[in-house]
Structure 1
Amino acid sequence: MAGRRRASRVVLSLVLLLAVLVGCGGRAPSDRASIEVQRVLDRRAAAILHRDEPAYRATGQVAAAGSEFGNLREVPLAAWAYHLTGLHRSGDRATATAELRYRIQGYDRSPVTVGRTLRLARSAGSWHVVSDEPAEKSGAQLWEQGAVTVVRGEHSLVLGVGQSGERLRAYADLADHAVPAVSQAWGTDWSAHVVMLVPKSLDGMAGLLGAPASGYRGIAAVTTGEAGGSAQAPADRVIVNPDAYGVLGDFGKQVVLTHETTHVATRAHTTAATPLWLSEGYADWVGYRGSGRTAPQVAPELERAVVDGRIPAALPDDKDFGFTGDAARLARAYEGGWMACRLIADRWGEVRLNDFYRAVGDHKKRTGAVEAALRDVLHTTPEKFTTQWRDYLRAQLGSSS
């Protein structure tokens, strides 16, 4: 018993000692700094959300304040908040990592979350934001590139920097045509609206994606968003490369935007199990659906290969869709995926094509996903389908077509 009492007293003494150490400055100063910085970020967020410029300027040094606030003036924000995830302090200087969570009114059901790195300085007993930049491996936000102009369409919201209102209206008109076209093909189990971001240039697009511009040269648009997002996920953003998009004709512009809008509609059923030949091929199939364009018109690179006797032995692999690779190879990958989806629609019907897409995406993992959907939805095998696809290429793109 005496030994137990001594052990208890030792444990109690250690607990008391820890309490004294914390009270005398163990972890408390760091915790206090975190609390103070979070409060500053809360005030900054509230100022942005409520368009209170004096309050916003009060949270940051004059040289660092103003641009973000002014650039966001037209953006219809429903929510804006910072969640502090880390703080490194050195005297009166600190670097904070945080998650910025924001929603656009009428478009985002849940917040868009982006990583931010903020530098702060302490003066007169208060912390102030010195800089607010994208975290490592995070893309920039559109308002960091300049004042955002907003154009609303019937089914779309277009946010642009360095673009005229007339040009942004043209984007909205294209999106308003794309949304009903996608719903007609895919169904109505999606938000039925699209958010477009139109930066000033290719470099601006690359900045939004946090990637080198060289990887997107010649790519007219891309769609962001986590594959397999739930119905509560924030709306995807269609990001336009104005340099490449601008050289397209009216038909090409519409096909591209309908393609990207298809990615928005199908995202909840596009998962790690979905191969790119299916997701990209289906988006192209919707884009060209009802256009009257023939297979050789849509798939010229693949037609060349077929005529030359170079019929692909298998459906395109994911690596064939790399933006930085051979342009002809990339074109053949997209065209091959489109032809596969076109084959399913022609042979089994559009309803089965949609069922097949959903069945593949709803599989728990990539392995076996296509095989199971071919078996359960189309009642065939990978080997038979590949043979049918190769025969279809020969029939549709061969010299006698």
Structure 2
Amino acid sequence: MGVGESGDRLRSFADLADRAVPAVSDAWGTGWARKVVVVVPASLEGMAELLGSSVDSYRGIAAVTTGETGGRAPADRIVVNPEAYGMLGEVGRQVVLTHETTHVATRAHTNAATPLWLSEGYADWVGYRGTDRTPDQAAPELQSAVDEGHVPAALPADSDFGFGGDATRLAQAYEGGWLACRMIAGRWGEEKLDAFYKAVGAHGKRAGAVEGALGSVLGVTLEEFTEDWRTYVKEQLAS
């Protein structure tokens, strides 16, 4: 649905969503509604008004999913920032819609126990899955840091994902979360990645959730996983 948008433009969003839904189901499974509502306001100001936030909160953010953070009701609406979204190429537009659709699919298993590096990293992993984007293409900010000898010491914290903060820090947080999920899928398998995500959410509270799921699903400690991830980041992004 959209206000002040042409029929052709709205159909292009429908086409993107029609491709995103089966792509998400192929990765996550079919145990979700398998439908999304894409809301396309006429401007960034219209987006901010819909979401009850300031314009600066979403400047540069291509799209968000309602209920994505902290809400009890399942997320079901993707709200597009027409300005930022319009700057993306064809692959980028599809990745964003698939990313946001992933949030819709995983919402029932996403709660206070789920760190943002996992929820955002998994959504990016599904978004890039099936594309030919390489780590250096999908994680340019983190690659720059690695090239300068700055490998993250720990997995991204929730505070690193603040939209109103430093843009480089935000980009590196998303990229680091994506690489963590990509590493799990590559080393333990995609089914284990899904099982890990669900096990974290099943814990219900943050304390011990990741540690417990790492042990029960992947058979590693948080310290071992973090060190493996740091090595993986260096290997994947080495120039």
**TM-score normalized by the length of structure 2:** 0.97
How do 1:144-155 residues align onto structure 2 when only pairs under 5 Å count?
none
CA distance in 1, matches of 2:59, 2:71: 28
Decide whether the 8 Å contact of 1:194 with 1:235 is kept in 2: no
Structure 1 residue identity aligned to 2:186: D
Where do 1:1-400 residues align within 5 Å? 159-225=1-67, 236-399=76-239
More helix by share: 2
Distance 2:230 2:38 in 1: 37
> What is the SS of the residue equivalent to 2:133?
coil
C-alpha distance in structure 2 between counterparts of 1:226 and 1:255, whole Å: 17
Distance 2:223 2:85 in 1: 38
State the aligned residue count: 239
* Greater than 6 Å deviation, 4+ residue runs: none
Q: Equivalent residue for 1:4?
A: none
Deviations 1:25-82, CA, capped at 9 Å, x for gaps: xxxxxxxxxxxxxxxxxxxxxxxxxxxxxxxxxxxxxxxxxxxxxxxxxxxxxxxxxx
Does the 8 Å contact 2:65/2:79 carry over to 1? yes
**Distance in 2 between residues matched to 1:312 and 1:363, nearest whole Å:** 26
> Structure 1, unaligned stretches of length 5 or more?
1-158
User: Aligned partners of 2:69 and 2:164: how far apart in 1?
Assistant: 22
Counterparts of 1:355 and 1:235 in 2: how far apart (Å)? 20
Residues 311-342 of structure 1: per-residue CA shift (max 9 Å, x gap): 00000000000001111110000000000000
CA change 1:234–1:371 in 2 (3 A) is: closer
RMSD of the alignment, in Å?
Answer: 1.3
The one-letter code sitting in structure 2 at the alignment partner of 1:370 is V
**AA at the equivalent of 1:171:** F
Distance in 2, matches of 1:164 and 1:317, equals 40
Supply the distance in 2 between the matched residues of 1:393 and 1:283 (Cα, whole angstroms): 18
Structure whose alpha-carbon radius of gyration is higher: 1
Alpha-carbon offset, residue 234 of structure 1: 6.1
Secondary structure of the 1:302 match is helix
Gaps of 5+ in 2: none
Tell me by how many angstroms 1:229 deviates.
7.3
Deviation at 1:366, TM superposition (A): 0.3
- Name the SS for the 2:64 alignment partner: strand
Cα 1:234/1:338, change in 2 over 3 Å: closer
What's the TM-score, normalizing by structure 1?
Answer: 0.58
1:68-117 alpha-carbon deviations (Å, 9 max, x no partner): xxxxxxxxxxxxxxxxxxxxxxxxxxxxxxxxxxxxxxxxxxxxxxxxxx
The 1:308/1:227 distance shift into structure 2, 3 A limit, reads closer
Does the 8 Å contact 1:229/1:267 carry over to 2? no
Question: What is the DSSP-based 3-state SS (H/G/I as helix, E as strand, rest coil) of the residue aligned with 1:171?
Answer: helix
Structure number having the greater strand percentage: 1
| AA partner of residue 43 (structure 2) | S
Offset of residue 226 of structure 1: 6.1
Describe the SS at the equivalent of 1:222.
Answer: strand
